[in-house]
Structure 1
């Protein structure tokens, strides 16, 4: 059994392709909305290399075992599946740093920190003849630039001290796992499989723990100063918003109307609306729903849409400009977060 069972529900039928798209980081508004409804957004982009055949095979195994049912491309845990889900959490590692998963590119974060650690280790031994970790050129250039910008007199000690401070916040198994990955002078980092065997962890747990630890490191250093922060700061985002959505949101906050943003950015009206929906999904506490959902619009929406948000079907008569659907989706998002806040 894999962590896929933890992304399913016994009460809420979930769209199979939405779950797959979340894991792959396919950021359509539809995927983000339903990912929000399923409360699995922190898993966005967590398994970008997952093949559809493998994903479908995992689902098929759950169905064959009587743990899930599939109907109309949606999956629902059976009562046995719900019990299996509870038992899964009793025997497997829970992610501890989910709230940091969307702060930045965790995969690049890992590569950059490991490479920097290797560079500093070799530097401390005054060794210039070594093969750097085989990461892409962007990461090599980024670490090289970071290294040249740092004060070398105390850099090795400070970097080690910062990493040690973070390790001290972890459990023994987690700390050992992270240390096993480190690369240094005549020290090769362990693979996930090697660390899993040494720590007597199932590989699926080790894979999850590895990602979780780098998310934790990101969150730990995001608001600190020092070499580690300088190293990873370019990879950290202030919000989970895509780059294009962030630009739209900044213009909106400066008082631009949707139409003005369209003209300024040379983008379609539908695209700008999608950007604003993304903002509402990720930053509901900051999003001014009332700017778009006036009292008359709210009254009309409240008359048409009640009960379980998952069951709402858009039925506006005028769909020509997309505005009605924009209001509908905003209303869904607003009601969803009000529901979660209860």
Structure 2
């Protein structure tokens, strides 16, 4: 029995969490839920690539796949909603990933905030340029969001080139990009473009056209966009037009909006209790935000919340136990609170405090 790419991703996640989280933790990961638990799980179990990879997945789909995995003997139930891979499941997963590894540039956690916006702007830009140079003013925009349409209209209006030179520059930048980076297959992206007298393919149509299993095509498409964002961001002078499509999309610090507000108040020196009062939130929610900040900002100092000696004790406790469940770490960490343990793990992971 063969497995889809999505099924392999779920099996891989089950292998990584090793019975320490429920199957629904993977569901929330793939959906891209920005809860403190999902965010921390993404980091603790090193599952960055798959964050928000399948935002439309349903609980029913997850449950159906779990039943299939059990039937095939790939997983066994630990207890309600907790599963781990069998030897047969591990062998199958290793064999499949050896034959066809997951795309190497996939990084949903880092780029989920900008991926969709970049694709919307790029696909609309290609369509507009194609129709402009063919003098076709009447066409249905491939993107429907008013903010995307408004942004591109203003962007084009500010350019100091006529439509032919603008279209030529976009074409040259895309061509130069694909010629420079042979690690990716241009057809995965190009086949989706809509232009003059040409309708781009949907995700399902593109997968069928390229002879790819649908969920593998999806992660390959995301992989390509993530790699484009990464490399274009590093070479803005080389790809000025393409970089402009990302430039206004915001920084790649994937904090939730609520955590950003807490971070801004922390920077004023306001204490936790006061922040909770000002924001009318529970202290535990503010603590969740601080853990999220520590996960995402390497230079964030956690010493105001956990003194150095306690940080060291927590790291040592985490090294002693194989489990990533906080209750097991706490039994070895003396008088450390769950918040302190979560914060130290967020900051250092498996590293040692210096």
Please give the secondary structure, in 2, of the residue aligned with 1:76. Answer: strand
Change in 2 beyond 3 A, CA 1:100/1:53: closer
Determine which of 187, 192, 195 is the counterpart of 2:198: 187
The one-character-per-residue Cα deviations of 1:271-292 (angstroms, maximum 9, x if unpaired) are 2221111012233x32323232
Q: Give CA deviations for 1:234-280 in whole Å, capped at 9, x if unaligned.
A: 33433121223223224434544334544554544332221111012
1:52 aligns with 2:66: no
How far residue 166 of structure 1 moved from its aligned partner, in angstroms, is: 2.2
Q: Which stretch shows the higher mean deviation, 21-30 or 173-182?
A: 173-182
Could you tell me how far 1:113 is from its partner in structure 2? 0.9
**How far apart are residue 19 of structure 1 and its match?**
0.8
What is the rounded CA distance, in whole Å, between the counterparts of 1:166 and 1:281 in structure 2? 32
Is 1:119 aligned to residue 132 of structure 2? no
Matched pairs, number:
334
Report the CA distance between 1:183 and its aligned residue. Answer: 1.5
Among 66, 70, 73, the residue aligned to 2:73: 66
Equivalent of 1:274 in 288, 291, 305: 288
Name the structure 1 match of 2:188. 177
**1:137 corresponding residue in structure 2:** 146
Hey, what does 1:30 align to over in structure 2? 37
Answering whether residue 19 of structure 2 is matched by residue 8 of structure 1, we say no
Aligned to 1:97: 105
Per-residue CA deviation, residues 72-104 of structure 1 (Å, 9 max, x unaligned), is 322211111111111221343522223465232
- Per the alignment, residue 346 of structure 2 pairs with 333
SS in 2 for 1:222: helix
What is the RMSD of the two structures over their aligned residues, measured on CA atoms? Answer: 2.9
Q: TM-score, normalised by structure 1?
A: 0.86
CA change 1:303–1:50 in 2 (3 A) is closer
Q: SS of 1:71's equivalent?
A: strand
SS of the residue corresponding to residue 76 of structure 2 reads: strand
Change (3 A) 1:11 1:230: closer
Tell me how far apart the structure 1 counterparts of residues 273 and 84 of structure 2 sit (CA, whole Å): 42
How much does 1:314 deviate?
A: 7.3
Gaps of 5+ in 1: 318-322
